């Protein structure tokens, strides 16, 4: 029996993880569930899965949540301290980090220090604090199994092979809803258009990131830290079908890829069950129906975020934190219709240019840089 804490159980990844648990009751037990403000769904999940703890970030909903769960033995917590607390519980084996944004940083670090397995969906944490996370993993002998579909694919393609025989990894990108568009076509695109991903059904923030190619930029930095590879060994290729989830090229010229249907339950389940494989609960891939797998170069002149990702990653230190924080704020402003789609890369570029890189980061320093970057972005749009 594997005992789970799901950070962000009400989101796209969180609800899919619970679908897995629902069909594999003999294999998993839910210990803790968390949400930001979707209290109704959290109540429903708590009634079904009977965790020992629930966390609602929004303090104002605590009493309502407590009332609704009064006849169940469930402790109700709030805030970032609540997230940290449930990530360290001795009765938890695996923490699935499925919150969106760098709010996942502190609970992830706490989970590592408590030697949990981290099933990592929350890529922003790896982007802003990759170096610290790597050190902590080593010191506390904890492990990360990637959930992000590309990194999960690479993790699988690395199994049984030697790391020093890897020539490069190739991250696939769908190209998002605006693949083929030029800058002129992007001038008036709306949030509704941007969140309509052609292949995956995901939360709003990551969907906008896919549309700008910032998702791939974050994934390049995530891969750098997860697989300990220089940026010149991390390539991106556009693959509109999203069937090849990513590839590893070895020094002998062999490429090992992982393929599958576009269903996040596959990588989530793999990360929760690793190293075991159990029966599929999704569709099987019908290659005859897919018929064609195509690949093309990414258009980084139009979608500049991808270039900014490599730039920030190579500069290192605090620069990926700045890029990520600026992006979180810019995406929020775009979804609120306060800026246009094309302003997103401009704001990120400006945040990078304005920042003096710092090294020897701490968690506190990263959070301070996040706050000052978000403030800077808001001053720019005044």
Ligand X SMILES: CC(=O)[C@@H](O)[C@H](O)COP(=O)(O)O
Ligand Y SMILES: NC(=O)C1=CN([C@@H]2O[C@H](COP(=O)(O)OP(=O)(O)OC[C@H]3O[C@@H](n4cnc5c(N)ncnc54)[C@H](OP(=O)(O)O)[C@@H]3O)[C@@H](O)[C@H]2O)C=CC1
Identify which of residues 35 and 333 has a Cβ nearer to ligand Y in the complex.
35
Per the CB < 8 A criterion, the answer to whether 161 and 250 are in contact is: yes
Distances (CA, A) of 372 to 12, 131, 346, 375, 380: 29, 21, 18, 5, 12
Closest approach, Cβ 100 to ligand Y, in A, equals 4
Closest approach, Cβ 223 to ligand X, in A, equals 12
Q: Is residue 212 a contact residue for ligand X (CB under 6 A)?
A: no
Number of residues that bind ligand Y (CB under 6 A): 28
Q: Which of 45, 52, 78, 122 binds ligand Y (CB under 6 A)?
A: 122
Q: Which of 68, 216, 265, 355 binds ligand X (CB under 6 A)?
A: 216
Residue 108 contact among ligand Y, ligand X, Mn ion, none, beta carbon within 5 to 8 Å by kind:
none
Q: Is residue 12 a contact residue for ligand X (CB under 6 A)?
A: no
What is residue 36's DSSP assignment? S
Number of residues that bind Mn ion (CB under 5 A): 3
> Does 219 count as an annotated binding residue?
yes
Q: Is 180 left (phi over 0), alpha (psi -120 to 50) or beta?
A: left
Q: Is residue 35 a contact residue for ligand Y (CB under 6 A)?
A: yes
Residue 210 contact among Mn ion, ligand X, ligand Y, none, beta carbon within 5 to 8 Å by kind:
ligand X
Q: Which of 4, 5, 13, 333 binds ligand Y (CB under 6 A)?
A: 13
Rounded to the nearest 10°, the torsion over CA 144, 263, 173, 127 is -30
The Cα angle at residue 90 between residues 87 and 95, in degrees rounded to 5: 35
> Does 260 count as an annotated binding residue?
no
Q: Which of 84, 136, 148, 273 binds ligand Y (CB under 6 A)?
A: 148
What is the footprint of ligand X within residues 255-294 (CB under 6 A)? 264
Per the CB < 8 A criterion, the answer to whether 258 and 245 are in contact is: yes
Identify which of residues 85 and 334 has a Cβ nearer to ligand X in the complex.
334
Q: Is residue 148 a contact residue for Mn ion (CB under 5 A)?
A: yes
Residue 216 contact among Mn ion, ligand Y, ligand X, none, beta carbon within 5 to 8 Å by kind:
ligand X
Q: Is residue 140 a contact residue for ligand X (CB under 6 A)?
A: no
Closest approach, Cβ 262 to ligand X, in A, equals 7
215 three-state secondary structure: helix
In the block, tokens 């025989």 appear at 165
Q: Is residue 52 a contact residue for ligand Y (CB under 6 A)?
A: no
Identify which of residues 43 and 202 has a Cβ nearer to ligand Y in the complex.
202
Per the CB < 8 A criterion, the answer to whether 282 and 264 are in contact is: no
Q: Is residue 226 a contact residue for ligand Y (CB under 6 A)?
A: no
Helices (H), 88-143: 105-113, 123-140
Distance CA 318, CA 322 (A): 6
Number of other CB atoms surrounding residue 335 within 10 Å: 16
Q: Which of 5, 98, 322, 351 binds ligand Y (CB under 6 A)?
A: 98
Per the CB < 8 A criterion, the answer to whether 4 and 96 are in contact is: yes
Tell me the sheet residues that pair with 78: 56
Distances (CA, A) of 244 to 34, 44, 140, 298: 32, 35, 34, 16
Residues 6+ apart with CB under 8 A from 248: 154, 157, 158, 161, 166, 168, 169, 170, 255, 256, 257
Residue ranges binding ligand X (CB under 6 A):
148-150, 173-174, 176, 200, 210, 215-216, 264
Known binding-site residue numbers for Mn(2+): 148, 150, 219
Known binding-site residue numbers for 1-deoxy-D-xylulose 5-phosphate: 123, 149-150, 174, 197, 210, 215-216, 219
Residue ranges binding Mn ion (CB under 5 A):
148-150
Residue ranges binding ligand Y (CB under 6 A):
8-14, 35-38, 57, 98-100, 103, 121-124, 148-149, 200, 202-203, 205-206, 264
């Amino acid at each position: 029996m594997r005992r789970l804490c799901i950070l962000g159980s009400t989101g796209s990844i969180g609800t899919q993880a619970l679908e897995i648990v629902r069909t594999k009751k003999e294999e998993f037990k839910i210990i803790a569930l968390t949400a930001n403000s979707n209290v109704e769904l959290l109540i429903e999940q708590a009634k079904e899965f009977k965790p020992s703890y629930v966390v609602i970030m929004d303090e104002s909903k605590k009493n309502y949540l407590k009332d609704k769960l009064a006849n169940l033995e469930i402790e109700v917590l709030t805030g970032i301290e609540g997230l940290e607390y449930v990530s360290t519980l001795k009765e938890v084996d695996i923490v699935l980090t499925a919150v969106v944004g760098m709010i996942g940083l502190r609970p992830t670090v706490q989970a590592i220090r408590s030697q949990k397995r981290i099933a990592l969906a929350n890529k922003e944490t790896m982007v802003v604090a990759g170096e610290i996370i790597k050190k902590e993993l080593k010191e506390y002998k904890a492990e990360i199994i990637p959930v992000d579909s590309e990194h999960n694919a690479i993790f699988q393609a690395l199994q049984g092979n030697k790391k020093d025989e890897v020539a490069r990894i190739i991250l696939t990108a769908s190209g998002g809803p605006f693949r083929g568009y030029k800058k002129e076509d992007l001038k008036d695109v709306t949030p509704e258009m941007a969140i309509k991903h052609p292949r995956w059904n995901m939360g709003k923030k990551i969907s906008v990131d896919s549309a700008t190619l910032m998702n791939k930029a974050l994934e390049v930095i995530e891969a750098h830290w997860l697989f300990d590879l220089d940026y010149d060994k991390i390539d991106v290729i556009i693959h509109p079908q999203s069937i090849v989830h990513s590839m590893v090229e070895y020094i002998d010229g062999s490429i090992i890829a992982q393929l599958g249907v576009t269903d996040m339950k596959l990588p989530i389940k793999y990360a929760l069950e690793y190293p075991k494989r159990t029966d599929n609960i999704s569709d099987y891939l019908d290659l005859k129906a897919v018929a064609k797998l195509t690949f093309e170069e990414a258009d980084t002149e139009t979608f500049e975020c991808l270039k900014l990702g490599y730039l920030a990653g190579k500069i290192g230190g605090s620069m990926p934190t700045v890029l990520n924080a600026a992006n979180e704020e810019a995406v929020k402003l775009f979804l609120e219709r306060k800026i246009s789609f094309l302003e997103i890369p401009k704001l990120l570029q400006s945040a990078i240019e304005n920042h003096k890189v710092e090294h020897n980061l701490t968690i506190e320093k990263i959070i301070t840089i996040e706050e000052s970057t978000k403030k800077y972005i808001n001053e720019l749009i005044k």
